[in-house]
Amino acid sequence: MASYTIPHAPGFVANDAPRIVTERFDDPASFTLERYLATGGYDGLRAALERPPDEVHSEVRDATLLGRGGAGFPAGVKWGFCPPGVWPRYLVVNGDESEPGTYKDRLLMELDPHQLIEGCLIACYAVGLSQCFLYIRGEMALAQERVAQALNEAYEAGWVGRNICGTDFSVDIVLHSGAGAYVVGEETALIESLEGNRGMPRLKPPYFPAAIGLYGLPTIVNNVETLSNLPWIMRNGAEAFTAIGTSTSPGTRMIAVSGHVQRPGVYEITNGTTTFRDLIYGEDYCRGMHPGRELKAFVPGGGSAPWFTPAQLDLPFEASEVGPQGSMLGSGAVMVMDDTTDIPAAALTLTKFYAHESCGKCVPCREGATWLERVLRRVCDGTGTPRDLDVLLEVGASISPGDFPHAAVPERGLEAKPFPYQMTTICFVGPSAFAPVHSALTLFPEEFEARVAANAHLDAELSGDPVSEVPVSV
């Protein structure tokens, strides 16, 4: 195996493991229609158009293409949730990638926008989706420019719009830029945003916008990487796709590894079989820690995911193995912390993120995330007390009652608590604010205790019922 970086694709590291969605990244002009067509571009669409739509849908279902946005739900099954006889149906592409640590959709949009467009067209054809809205995160200026340019070229050349490839398949793809709001990555919030509203998640049920989505109509919301797999699947077939990886997690996945590793990067890895150890220590991947440093902890699936320690390194990228061990694969982002890391401070960077991004709709999240941030901040500043550590857990329990998922800690005899968690909020932002706090407190309690020990006397001074102790003037 060999691996190499590519100057025009900063952040991406190529290797010779199977490449499905990044196969054109080596080409400096990969984003142009000319280069796309010269490298098998739109062949997947042509292959799809020669078959009835339901066969195309079956092919995707047979490929067990798991959604790459975070939840990991099979795309082909999701497509089947559209209620029969309700028209029109829409496709909304989720390109609002904002999960801390995650970036692969941005690269796919910047470096191979036609592959995404082709994926959108295949989905629209298969499920009978009449119009497509491609929602790109507002801050991603280059991705917006590349996708706009690609759409302009594709329209001119007849790949998008009326009577595509001379058939009766006609669909518009409308580019829609967001304006900065993490929560809009939640699919019902994405739809609200697309309707011109504040991007707040909708009450559930219905759980899937496939039933009631944009303008109250059946709407498929798919992630950029998910759709980018479709041209390859249509060109090579579901069988070739499932031959890569494992039967429950076939194909490849793009994973961004950042933090304290020698070679941080975005890697396309074989799904289901590649382990965290391969990825963090492999010669073709991140090449381990910096000299003299040791791995302390890592976040396995984006900022929302409970943390792992070296004890979980041999787990593969397979949801059915990671879930029981107390975390999730999420959005394909691994953040690595070495032994120099200040754990409470690291947790604060994430909790602060979720507190800032809470949309304010659910009280437990709006208030809870904010208080988690404030209390954790004073612990980090050295002004917290031992009681504050209980407060953090109490506030967390108001967002996510019951045992919160966590990894096993063999040296303390602590067993893993499997995913998922319970929640008092509509969406995952609230529990995500608690996840880093809970993980850090569970895995590294001594770092917190050391921070607050000197202030134990303050708890004693403040004990008792503060209300009854207020002097009352008669």
Partner 1 sequence: MSFFTEENRALAGEIIGRYPKRRSAMIPLLHVAQGQAGWVTPEAMTEIAELVDTTPAEVLGTCSFYEMFKREPVGKYLVNICVTMSCALAGAVELMEHAEERLGVRAGGTTPDGMFTLASAECQAACTEAPCLQVNYRYRYRVDTEGFDQLIDDLASGSLEGEIPQHGITARVRQRIPEDRMVGAVPPAEVNEAPVWLAVPAPNGAGSS
Spatial distance between the Cα atoms of 209 and 218, rounded to a whole number of angstroms: 6
To the nearest whole angstrom, how small is the minimum distance from the Cβ of residue 57 to partner 1?
A: 3
Per-residue tokens: 167: 């058939």
- CB nearer to partner 1: pick between 43 and 145: 145
Report the amino acid identity of residue 303.
Answer: G
- CB nearer to partner 1: pick between 170 and 320: 170
Give the sheet arrangement for strand 131-136, strand by strand: 172-177, 131-136, 90-95, 219-223
Kindly list the distances between the CA atom of residue 432 and the CA atoms of 199, 290, 369, 400, 473, in Å, as whole numbers in the listed order.
Answer: 18, 29, 9, 10, 46
- CB nearer to partner 1: pick between 244 and 376: 376
- CB nearer to partner 1: pick between 212 and 244: 212
To the nearest whole angstrom, how small is the minimum distance from the Cβ of residue 415 to partner 1?
A: 27
To the nearest whole angstrom, how small is the minimum distance from the Cβ of residue 431 to partner 1?
A: 17
Candidates 26, 29, 36; CA nearest to 2 is: 26
- CB nearer to partner 1: pick between 340 and 422: 340
To the nearest whole angstrom, how small is the minimum distance from the Cβ of residue 338 to partner 1?
A: 9
To the nearest whole angstrom, how small is the minimum distance from the Cβ of residue 385 to partner 1?
A: 24
- CB nearer to partner 1: pick between 244 and 350: 350
Candidates 320, 247, 255, 319; CA nearest to 282 is: 255
To the nearest whole angstrom, how small is the minimum distance from the Cβ of residue 87 to partner 1?
A: 6
Number of Cβ within a 10 Å radius of residue 472: 5
Spatial distance between the Cα atoms of 23 and 29, rounded to a whole number of angstroms: 13
Spatial distance between the Cα atoms of 252 and 60, rounded to a whole number of angstroms: 15
Per-residue tokens: 356: 């800032």
To the nearest whole angstrom, how small is the minimum distance from the Cβ of residue 332 to partner 1?
A: 11
Give residue for tokens 């990067």: 265
To the nearest whole angstrom, how small is the minimum distance from the Cβ of residue 313 to partner 1?
A: 19
Spatial distance between the Cα atoms of 284 and 71, rounded to a whole number of angstroms: 28
- CB nearer to partner 1: pick between 55 and 390: 55
- CB nearer to partner 1: pick between 318 and 357: 357
Residues near 214 by Cβ (< 8 Å), separated by ≥ 6?
A: 90, 92, 133, 191, 194, 195
To the nearest whole angstrom, how small is the minimum distance from the Cβ of residue 252 to partner 1?
A: 18
**H helix runs in 52-185, sequence order:** 53-62, 75-79, 105-111, 113-127, 141-156
Rg (C-alpha) for the chain, rounded Å, is 24
To the nearest whole angstrom, how small is the minimum distance from the Cβ of residue 121 to partner 1?
A: 11
- CB nearer to partner 1: pick between 244 and 297: 297
Is the preceding peptide bond at 316 cis, omega within 30 degrees of 0?
Answer: no
- CB nearer to partner 1: pick between 268 and 321: 268
Q: Where are the beta strands (DSSP E) in 237-392?
A: 252-259, 265-270, 295-299, 333-338
